[in-house]
Amino acid sequence: AKDYELRQYETAKWVSTVIRGESQKEAMRQGFWKLFHYIQGKNEKEMKMDMTVPVTCLVKSGCTDFKISFFVPFEHQDSPPQPTESDVFVEERKAAAIFVRSFGGFASPEKYAEEAEALARTLRNRGQPFHEDFFYTAGYDSPFKLFNRHNEVWYFKK
Protein backbone atom coordinates (compact mmCIF):
# COMPACT_ATOMS: atom_id res chain seq x y z
CA ALA A 1 0.00 0.00 0.00
CA LYS A 2 1.23 3.52 -0.58
CA ASP A 3 1.30 4.54 3.10
CA TYR A 4 2.64 1.33 4.66
CA GLU A 5 4.20 -2.01 3.80
CA LEU A 6 3.86 -5.53 5.15
CA ARG A 7 7.23 -7.20 5.78
CA GLN A 8 8.09 -10.73 6.79
CA TYR A 9 10.95 -10.85 9.28
CA GLU A 10 12.77 -14.09 10.02
CA THR A 11 13.62 -15.30 13.53
CA ALA A 12 16.61 -13.29 14.77
CA LYS A 13 18.57 -12.39 17.90
CA TRP A 14 18.60 -8.90 19.35
CA VAL A 15 20.48 -7.51 22.33
CA SER A 16 18.12 -5.57 24.57
CA THR A 17 17.68 -3.67 27.80
CA VAL A 18 14.56 -2.43 29.58
CA ILE A 19 14.58 1.09 31.00
CA ARG A 20 11.86 1.66 33.59
CA GLY A 21 10.09 4.81 34.73
CA GLU A 22 11.84 7.31 32.47
CA SER A 23 10.50 9.36 29.58
CA GLN A 24 10.79 7.59 26.22
CA LYS A 25 13.48 10.03 25.11
CA GLU A 26 15.55 9.42 28.27
CA ALA A 27 14.95 5.63 28.05
CA MET A 28 16.25 5.68 24.46
CA ARG A 29 19.36 7.62 25.56
CA GLN A 30 20.14 5.31 28.50
CA GLY A 31 19.29 2.15 26.57
CA PHE A 32 21.37 3.15 23.56
CA TRP A 33 24.51 3.65 25.69
CA LYS A 34 24.04 0.36 27.58
CA LEU A 35 23.76 -1.52 24.27
CA PHE A 36 26.56 0.47 22.66
CA HIS A 37 28.88 -0.58 25.51
CA TYR A 38 27.85 -4.21 24.88
CA ILE A 39 28.88 -4.03 21.19
CA GLN A 40 32.08 -2.19 22.19
CA GLY A 41 33.21 -5.22 24.22
CA LYS A 42 31.25 -5.18 27.49
CA ASN A 43 30.41 -8.87 26.98
CA GLU A 44 31.83 -12.25 28.06
CA LYS A 45 34.11 -12.52 25.03
CA GLU A 46 35.19 -8.85 25.27
CA MET A 47 34.31 -8.84 21.58
CA LYS A 48 33.69 -5.69 19.58
CA MET A 49 30.87 -5.85 17.06
CA ASP A 50 29.69 -3.50 14.35
CA MET A 51 26.80 -1.19 15.06
CA THR A 52 23.69 -2.39 13.24
CA VAL A 53 20.35 -0.83 12.38
CA PRO A 54 17.64 -0.40 13.21
CA VAL A 55 17.69 0.56 16.88
CA THR A 56 14.21 -0.36 18.11
CA CYS A 57 12.15 0.70 21.08
CA LEU A 58 9.12 -1.27 22.26
CA VAL A 59 6.32 1.08 23.31
CA LYS A 60 3.37 -0.43 25.22
CA SER A 61 0.12 1.44 25.80
CA GLY A 62 -0.01 3.04 29.23
CA CYS A 63 3.39 1.67 30.26
CA THR A 64 6.56 3.54 31.23
CA ASP A 65 8.91 0.60 30.58
CA PHE A 66 10.72 0.84 27.26
CA LYS A 67 12.70 -2.03 25.72
CA ILE A 68 15.56 -0.74 23.59
CA SER A 69 17.23 -3.20 21.19
CA PHE A 70 20.08 -3.53 18.69
CA PHE A 71 19.99 -6.20 15.99
CA VAL A 72 22.84 -8.69 16.57
CA PRO A 73 25.11 -8.60 13.48
CA PHE A 74 24.53 -11.51 11.08
CA GLU A 75 27.97 -13.04 11.74
CA HIS A 76 27.13 -13.32 15.47
CA GLN A 77 23.51 -14.53 15.16
CA ASP A 78 24.43 -18.17 15.91
CA SER A 79 26.28 -17.44 19.15
CA PRO A 80 26.20 -13.84 20.31
CA PRO A 81 28.51 -13.12 23.25
CA GLN A 82 26.64 -12.95 26.56
CA PRO A 83 26.34 -9.49 28.10
CA THR A 84 28.22 -8.84 31.34
CA GLU A 85 25.73 -6.23 32.59
CA SER A 86 22.82 -7.85 34.41
CA ASP A 87 20.19 -5.63 32.76
CA VAL A 88 21.36 -6.32 29.19
CA PHE A 89 20.16 -9.55 27.57
CA VAL A 90 20.10 -11.38 24.25
CA GLU A 91 16.63 -12.33 23.06
CA GLU A 92 15.34 -14.24 20.09
CA ARG A 93 12.44 -12.61 18.30
CA LYS A 94 10.32 -15.12 16.43
CA ALA A 95 9.56 -14.71 12.73
CA ALA A 96 6.70 -12.26 12.23
CA ALA A 97 4.68 -10.33 9.70
CA ILE A 98 5.00 -6.63 10.51
CA PHE A 99 3.15 -3.58 9.20
CA VAL A 100 5.65 -0.76 8.67
CA ARG A 101 5.16 2.97 8.16
CA SER A 102 8.27 4.96 7.18
CA PHE A 103 8.94 8.67 7.64
CA GLY A 104 11.86 11.09 7.50
CA GLY A 105 13.32 13.81 9.68
CA PHE A 106 14.41 13.73 13.31
CA ALA A 107 11.98 11.51 15.20
CA SER A 108 10.80 12.51 18.66
CA PRO A 109 8.65 10.29 20.88
CA GLU A 110 5.72 12.55 19.90
CA LYS A 111 6.44 12.09 16.18
CA TYR A 112 6.70 8.30 16.61
CA ALA A 113 3.35 8.27 18.47
CA GLU A 114 1.74 10.38 15.74
CA GLU A 115 3.04 8.07 12.97
CA ALA A 116 1.98 4.96 14.94
CA GLU A 117 -1.53 6.40 15.32
CA ALA A 118 -1.68 7.16 11.57
CA LEU A 119 -0.59 3.59 10.77
CA ALA A 120 -3.11 2.12 13.26
CA ARG A 121 -5.90 4.23 11.74
CA THR A 122 -5.00 3.08 8.21
CA LEU A 123 -4.86 -0.59 9.26
CA ARG A 124 -8.23 -0.36 11.03
CA ASN A 125 -9.78 1.32 7.98
CA ARG A 126 -8.47 -1.48 5.76
CA GLY A 127 -9.65 -4.21 8.14
CA GLN A 128 -6.11 -5.46 8.80
CA PRO A 129 -5.88 -7.27 12.17
CA PHE A 130 -2.86 -6.20 14.24
CA HIS A 131 -1.68 -6.14 17.86
CA GLU A 132 -2.86 -2.71 18.98
CA ASP A 133 -1.46 -2.73 22.54
CA PHE A 134 2.17 -2.12 21.49
CA PHE A 135 4.31 -0.88 18.65
CA TYR A 136 8.01 -0.59 17.91
CA THR A 137 9.90 2.50 16.85
CA ALA A 138 12.83 1.86 14.52
CA GLY A 139 15.61 4.37 13.89
CA TYR A 140 18.16 3.86 11.15
CA ASP A 141 20.45 6.89 11.36
CA SER A 142 23.22 8.26 13.54
CA PRO A 143 22.24 11.46 15.38
CA PHE A 144 24.91 13.16 13.24
CA LYS A 145 23.13 12.45 9.97
CA LEU A 146 21.20 15.58 9.09
CA PHE A 147 19.47 14.78 5.79
CA ASN A 148 17.51 11.90 4.26
CA ARG A 149 16.85 10.35 7.64
CA HIS A 150 14.82 7.11 7.83
CA ASN A 151 12.51 6.14 10.71
CA GLU A 152 9.75 3.57 11.03
CA VAL A 153 6.93 2.45 13.30
CA TRP A 154 5.99 -1.23 13.38
CA TYR A 155 2.78 -3.02 14.32
CA PHE A 156 2.73 -6.82 14.40
CA LYS A 157 0.10 -8.51 12.27
CA LYS A 158 -2.34 -10.79 14.10
**11-58 pLDDT, tens digit each:** 999 999 999 999 999 999 999 999 999 999 999 999 999 999 999 999
* Structural domain containing residue 94: 5-156
> Average pLDDT, whole number, for the chain?
96
Per-residue pLDDT at 12: 98
Per-residue pLDDT at 1: 76
Per-residue pLDDT at 143: 82
Question: What CATH number is attached to the domain comprising 92?
Answer: 3.20.80.10
126 vs 1: CA distance, rounded Å: 10
**Burial status of residue 46 (CB atoms within 10 A of its CB: 0-12, 13-18, 19 or more):** exposed
* DSSP letter assigned to residue 75: G
- Structural domain total, the chain: 1
pTM: 0.96
